[in-house]
């Protein structure tokens, strides 16, 4: 089935035709878990990756500490470390990135993106919170919003045009 065909190293697991194949070169990889036809197909140097889904991270030649879940997730990635791509074609067009989060269901429709270094998360669309939002810093809102503040003594509804301090 060609899984791990040219791979050398230890503690790797490859399931699926061409998974962790290493395209005509000797690879030195350890602790990779790869499931799916041609997943991490081109990997030559990389450790501690988890790739599940057909052709996930297909072109990655140098990758460490990544999680790729979904058919063709990170498909065009050449090099990257510490990324988490979840969903069908999540991060499909990324080529050289580190420390990124992408949750998507197509190559051009990211629902959630993030950066593990800057600790920023972006949500494309609306965010609904069932319980509390607690912040120790500022809360920046771009676009319209509504805010309902309720305490034992008062209730207040604010809009984007209001400024207030509530104690």
pLDDT one-digit tens code per residue, 42-87: 998 899 999 999 999 999 999 999 999 999 999 999 999 999 999 9
Does the pLDDT value for residue 25 go beyond 80?
A: no
Statement: the pTM of the whole predicted model exceeds 0.75: yes
pLDDT at residue 167, as a whole number = 42
Q: Sheet containing 96-98: which strands, arranged edge to edge?
A: 7-10, 27-30, 45-47, 62-64, 79-81, 96-98
**pLDDT tens for residues 11-24?**
889 899 989 887 55
Rounded CA separation 84/100 (Å): 6
Strand ranges inside 6-66, DSSP E: 7-10, 13-15, 27-30, 33-35, 45-47, 50-52, 62-64
**pLDDT tens for residues 83-133?**
999 999 999 999 999 999 999 999 999 999 999 999 999 999 888 888 888
């Amino acid at each position: 089935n060609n899984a791990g065909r040219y791979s050398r190293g230890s503690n790797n697991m490859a399931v699926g035709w061409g998974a962790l194949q290493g395209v005509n070169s000797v690879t030195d990889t350890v602790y990779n878990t790869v499931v799916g036809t041609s997943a991490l197909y081109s990997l030559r140097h990389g450790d501690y990756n988890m790739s599940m889904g057909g052709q996930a991270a297909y072109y990655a030649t140098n990758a460490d500490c990544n999680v790729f879940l979904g058919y063709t997730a990170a498909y065009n990635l050449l090099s990257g470390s510490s990324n988490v791509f979840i969903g069908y074609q999540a991060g499909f067009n990324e080529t050289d990135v580190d420390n990124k989060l992408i949750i998507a269901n197509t190559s051009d429709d990211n629902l959630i993106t993030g950066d593990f270094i800057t600790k920023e998360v972006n949500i494309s669309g609306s965010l609904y919170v069932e319980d509390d939002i607690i912040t120790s810093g500022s809360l920046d809102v771009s676009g319209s919003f509504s805010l309902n503040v309720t305490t034992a003594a008062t209730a207040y509804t604010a809009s984007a045009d209001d400024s207030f301090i509530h104690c």
